[in-house]
Amino acid sequence: MSLGIQHKYIVASATDTVTNSTTETAFAKTVSLPAQSLRAGDFIQGFGCVKATSTNSTDTLTVKVYVGPSADPKTGILVCDQTAIDVADNDVIGFDFKLCVDAIGAGSTFKVSGVGLSWKHGATAVSKTLAIAGATDAQASSFGDLVVAVTATWSAASASDIARLDALHAAAFPALPSV
> What tens digit of pLDDT does each residue of 116-158 get?
999 888 776 678 888 999 999 999 999 999 999 999 999 999 9
DSSP string computed for 53-119: EE--TT-EEEEEEEEEETT-GGGSEEEEEPPPEE--TTEEEEEEEEEEEEE--STTT-EEEEEEEEE
In a domain, 143, yes or no: yes
Q: How far is CA 73 from CA 126, 136, 177, in A?
A: 25, 13, 30
Has residue 2 got a pLDDT over 60? no
* Domain residue limits at 144: 17-173
Asked if residue 67 lies in contact with residue 140, where contact means CB atoms within 8 angstroms, the answer is: yes
In a domain, 165, yes or no: yes
In a domain, 179, yes or no: no
Could you give the number of structural domains in the chain?
1
Question: Rg of the chain over CA atoms, in angstroms?
Answer: 16
Q: pTM for the full model?
A: 0.94
In a domain, 61, yes or no: yes
Q: Which residues contact 71 (CB under 8 A, 6 or more apart)?
A: none
Q: Determine the pLDDT at residue 30.
A: 98
pLDDT of 24-82, one tens digit each? Answer: 999 999 999 999 999 999 999 999 999 999 999 999 999 999 999 999 999 999 999 98
Residue 4 DSSP one-character state: P
In a domain, 3, yes or no: no
In a domain, 158, yes or no: yes
In a domain, 9, yes or no: no
Q: Determine the pLDDT at residue 1.
A: 44
Residue 56 CB neighbour total at 10 angstroms: 16
In a domain, 100, yes or no: yes
CA–CA gap between residue 124 and residue 174 (Å, rounded): 34
